[in-house]
Structure 1
């Protein structure tokens, strides 16, 4: 049995494994673990993917693109924050 990774299916930005909006819960857990020692790297990666996703989603639907607040929450709003 093959295991489909929780990676984005472009240009629609749904998870290849579970069809939830990417990053899905499983992708978020995996990314948090992968970048456990590099939280800035996680934010840089997610900012880059957010930029790509917005461009793709606007190309798919130029008259009614994605909601900026929802896209921010989806890609960056969940990232664990360090206490200051």
Structure 2
């Protein structure tokens, strides 16, 4: 059975591997899942970013931005 790389809130760690979420595996999975729907992926990750900002209020917003949105690059 494949590990599910989903977030555990409010810590935002990966259930599958224990790393900060999104972990190294999840961005590739999300890119494949949202193939040809990049705007939808951006909206989903933006929503996660906002939620994480509320939960991880001590983490600088710039770090969270890189973590949640920075891996997507430009269109």
Work out whether the TM-score is over 0.5: yes
Measure the CA separation in 1 of the matches of 2:36 and 2:6: 21
Structure 2 SS opposite 1:25? coil
Query: Equivalent of 2:67, from 43, 67, 74?
Result: 74
Q: Which runs of 5+ in 1 are unaligned?
A: 59-64
Structure 1 SS opposite 2:18? coil
4+ residue runs of structure 1 moved beyond 3 angstroms? none
Query: What do you get for the CA RMSD once the two structures are aligned?
Result: 1.1
Task: Give 1:81 deviation, angstroms.
Answer: 2.5
Higher Rg of the two aligned structures: 1
Q: TM-score, normalised by structure 2?
A: 0.92
* Count, aligned residues: 75
Q: Which runs of 5+ in 2 are unaligned?
A: none
Q: TM-score, normalised by structure 1?
A: 0.83
Task: Give 1:78 deviation, angstroms.
Answer: 0.5
